[in-house]
Amino acid sequence: MAHGVNSAYHSGVPLDPVTSAIVGSIIGSAVEGLLAPAPLPPASGIVRALPVESQYGLMTPPWNGQVQIDGQTRAVSPGLVIRNEFNQIVPPMMMQAPARVRYQIDANGFVYRVWMLSAAEVQLAGQR
């Protein structure tokens, strides 16, 4: 084996205490970063201009063609569109937890549009 800069890593010769402490600190920080949960997006979110005629409520995830909004069971439209707090379309089966929403009912009484609300939008809904 050639003697050089890398020979300490291959020959079993321990590093000096300062270098060892620095390497240990870097590895420890990296492990902590991997184990720490990812930061959540900003709590405020965006505030959208939602239809005035939309209604406010707490909705459970769709199941078997129905949702519960504020304890009332409602049928969902076959064309149900759910948008998350960032206005992205969410497939109905991907909604995992109850959420504060604004929603619209079609002519048949089916829920057909849902907007999951950001924290800022929930505050605005509470002020109306």
pLDDT in tens, 11-35: 566 668 888 778 878 887 777 767 7
Q: Are 118 and 74 within one domain?
A: yes
Residues 70, 100: one domain?
yes
73: burial class by Cβ within 10 Å (0-12, 13-18, 19+)? exposed
Mark whether 66 and 95 lie in a shared domain.
yes
Q: Residue 41: pLDDT band by 50, 70, 90 thresholds? A: low
Number of domains making up the chain: 2
Residue 18 lies in a domain: yes
60 is in which domain, residue-wise?
55-127
- Is 44 inside a domain boundary? no
pLDDT surpasses 60 at 42 = no
Instruction: Say whether pLDDT at 40 is over 60.
Output: no
- Residues 34, 59, single domain; the answer is no
Domain-embedded: residue 47: no
pTM (predicted TM-score): 0.64
User: Poorest-confidence range of 3-12, 66-75, 105-114?
Assistant: 3-12
The whole-angstrom separation of Cα 48 and Cα 87 is 8
Taking 90 as the threshold, does the pLDDT of residue 124 lie above it?
no
75 within some domain: yes
90, 119: one domain: yes
Residues 34 and 81 in one domain: no
Same domain (yes/no): 60, 30 = no
